[in-house]
Chain A
Amino acid sequence: MITATLDHYLLLSAALFALGFLGVLLRRNALVIFMSLELMLVASTLALVAFSRFNRTLDGNVFVFFILTVAAAEVAVGLAIIVALFRQRHTLQVDELNALKH
């Protein structure tokens, strides 16, 4: 069995990011879309930590620190928006949330 190199981590990170992107593109439920967005953020943190480890620097890890903070704030605000939206329109399906379109 081969040892895990930087390439492996990057491939895994890219695959995770692609899966999250697919979720954002193809799902209808706003909550699932939001979760896929979080998946993409986690994929980027994985790439940062891998680069940091293999290059023997700390900067990538510190960036992940900040990404975690921003993600927490983003989740709080995003879920508040989703709840406010649901109160007004009584749906979470993004197809039906087209008030800005017409």
Chain B
Amino acid sequence: MSPALFTLFAALTLASAVGVVANKNVVNAAMCFLLGLVGVAGLFVQLDAYLLAFLLLLVYAGAVVVLFLFIVMLLGPQGRAAWRLTPGAVVGGLVAGALLLAGWGSLLVHGRLDPPPPDGAPGVGAALKPYAYQLFTTYLLPVQVMGFLLLVAMLGVIVLSRKADGTEKAP
């Protein structure tokens, strides 16, 4: 784990996240999201999770961001005020920021979470075989449930994307 690479990817991720939240243009925000995903995938590689880095790029950058861009193109630009600065939202944001700072502070002051840093040996997640073993033994039921969830999601999307009044006829 190279510290320079960590700094680089962390900076890239944080800058892109700020870009997502602060950008007025939705297309630019989606592009920033894409960059941030590349940064997170780089961090995954630093953590020896090569498969997950690959999947993140494939599923998120390849499918999700493209879907977002597709919907943005479909719905057209929305030229309105971008921020919702109601008192409730501002107070909520301030409270969330204060909680984050408190959590950071307590982690820095008495965080003894650190296991010793890995000693150069590749992580457990580096190889493909343990994943397959885990997915087909310990996590077999969750895998089945995930398959069912994907089926239900697909059916739900088909139902949702029909015309609401049901006038659409089969060809």
Contacts and interface: CB of A to CB of B under 8 A. Distances in A.
Given A52-B49, A77-B153, A22 B96 contact: yes
B72 A7 contact: no
Main secondary structure of the interface of A (DSSP, over half): helix
Main secondary structure of the interface of B (DSSP, over half): helix
Given A10-B113, A72-B63, A92-B75, A49 B52 contact: yes
Interface in A7-66: 7-12, 14-16, 18-23, 25-29, 31-32, 34-36, 38-39, 42, 45-46, 49-50, 52-59, 61-62, 64-66
Contacts of A22: 21, 93, 96-97
B170 interface: no
A4 interface: yes
Interface in B115-149: 115, 117-118, 123-125, 130-131, 134-135, 138-139, 142, 146, 149
Nearest to A42: B40
Contacts of A97: none
B164 A27 contact: no
Interface residues of A, number: 75
A25 B124 contact: no
B33 A35 contact: yes
5 contacts: A25-B92, A32-B82, A46-B43, A71-B59, A88-B164
B139 A62 contact: yes
B93 A28 contact: no
Contact of B80 (A49, A75, A84, A93): A93
A29 B26 contact: yes
Most buried by B among A2, A8, A61: A61
A87 B59 CA distance: 27
A31 B71 contact: yes
Given A11-B107, A58-B124, A65-B131, A5 B21 contact: no
Given A49-B52, A75-B67, A36 B150 contact: no
